[in-house]
A = this chain, B = another copy of it.
Amino acid sequence: MARIVMKFGGTSMAGIERIRHVASLVKREVEAGNELAVVVSAMAGETDRLVQLCREAASLYDPREYDVVVASGEQVTSGLLAITLQGMGLNARSYMGWQLPILTSGHTAGLIEGIDAAVLDRVFSEGGIAVIPGFQGVTEAGDVSTLGRGGSDTSAVALAAAMKADRCDIYTDVDGVYTTDPRIVPRARKLPVITYEEMLELASVGAKVLQTRSVGLAMRENMPLRVLSSFDDRPGTMVVADEALEEYNMERQLITGIAYDKNEAMVTLTGLPDKPGTVAGIFGPLAEASINVDMIVQSVPQPGSKSDLTFTVPAASLPQTRAVLEQVREKIGFDNFVTDTNVVKVSAVGVGMRSNAGVAAQMFEALAQRNINILAITTSEIKVSVLIAEEYTELAVRVLHSTYGLDQEAEA
């Protein structure tokens, strides 16, 4: 017997037929003797519809009331799943975020501060199944709150930690985590196991299987995640701690996956004076405005001359970045503010990199052979990323996937 959280995304909950299928997956786990909490998203498209209604109601909507409106999507699906499970003869009940309660730090993108698992312990002791709307909670003031888009994954992981679950199963519309995007590389392989850190790097660079926050939380709580499809029966991908890899008899790969992210924008400031404090005068105000600067390249100036500075920000932050820099323009003194959104960040990720030099060199070499120009570079302990022109996205991903030996063997 295991204690498991099963989480189903919006595509899995889109309509009664699909909810019925989800119920059959839940039933299978019940019959295996497991204790279950089921976390559900709103039907696909519903949250977008509700957000749109809020925007139409007022351009600057109140977060408290926004949460009341958008939390309703998960309320509906959790009630419907409970009804469907009961219709199959199972003992299921829904519990809203305010009923458990799931306490959050605030509205709209609140953090989960605590979950009272007492209700769940009682439900399990009575042989019941708890159905919990994802994405929602309650503030200390007793108002409905939400966790920000994609928050249902985080709900599931936090709930799993609170109820000391053995595992958190994330059912989605893909059947696991792949070495790269299979639409670009048909020979991409599904990974049976991946570490939290690798998953975090892959998620943050564009492989959007799991919400980044939920993976970080799972890592802190050391909660094993399983990513699998609700639409087929294939095994999926386990996301575990580095130290747990051996349990899964996995040889540590040098590189686990190749990710890409087109939502970056490159900013170049030209004609910067070569004097102390210039760089701090630029990145200080950007940090204060919560603009996430990623890659930074500074040309080395000749003594006494001017230099250029290039960095990347999320494309969505570009207007704000421009506004912040225009405010400090006179103080800093630069000639031009040049932007380029036709760029892509391609990354190789793998915990094996730690004990193996030469990964970055291998990447630069492979890209150079295809005449792909590298605009910027950034590295972490388990990741090497390069910024290149967007038109080379597919070529670069395919070349790197092959370079690091990730291509699936051709079928015999």
Contacts and interface: CB of A to CB of B under 8 A. Distances in A.
A26 to B, nearest CB: 14
Contact of A142 (B20, B58, B60, B99): B99
B96 A79 contact: no
A98 B83 CA distance: 21
Given A16-B57, A60-B87, A76-B53, A82 B94 contact: no
A222 to B, nearest CB: 33
A249 interface: no
Interface string A363-388: 00000000000000000000000000
Contacts of A27: none
A69 B53 contact: no
Contact of A72 (B20, B75, B82, B87): B75
Interface in A108-125: none
8 contacts: A19-B57, A20-B57, A62-B82, A65-B79, A65-B93, A65-B94, A67-B79, A96-B144
Nearest to A49: B76
A84 B69 contact: no
B62 A83 contact: yes
A217 interface: no
Which of A65, A72, A75, A87 has the most chain B CB within a 10 Å cutoff?
A65
B57 A83 contact: yes
A76 B83 contact: no
A54 interface: yes
Given A59-B87, A62-B86, A93-B65, A80 B54 contact: yes
Contact of A69 (B60, B75, B98): B75
Q: What is the predominant secondary structure among interface residues of chain A facing chain B?
A: helix
Contacts of A291: none
A272 interface: no
Contacts of A143: 99
B53 A68 contact: no
Which of A61, A66, A79 has the most chain B CB within a 10 Å cutoff?
A79
A8 to B, nearest CB: 15
Contacts of A59: 87
Contacts of A72: 72, 75-76
A83 B96 contact: no
Contacts of A98: 98
A288 interface: no
A56 interface: yes
A78 interface: yes
A64 interface: yes
A355 to B, nearest CB: 52
Given A50-B76, A54-B83, A68-B79, 6 more contacts: A16-B53, A58-B87, A62-B82, A66-B83, A67-B79, A68-B96
A93 B79 contact: no
Closest 6 CB pairs of A and B: A58-B87, A68-B79, A69-B79, A72-B72, A57-B83, A16-B56
Contacts of A75: 68-69, 71-72, 75
Contacts of A78: 68
A66 B69 CA distance: 19
A80 B84 contact: no
Contacts of A53: 16, 76, 80
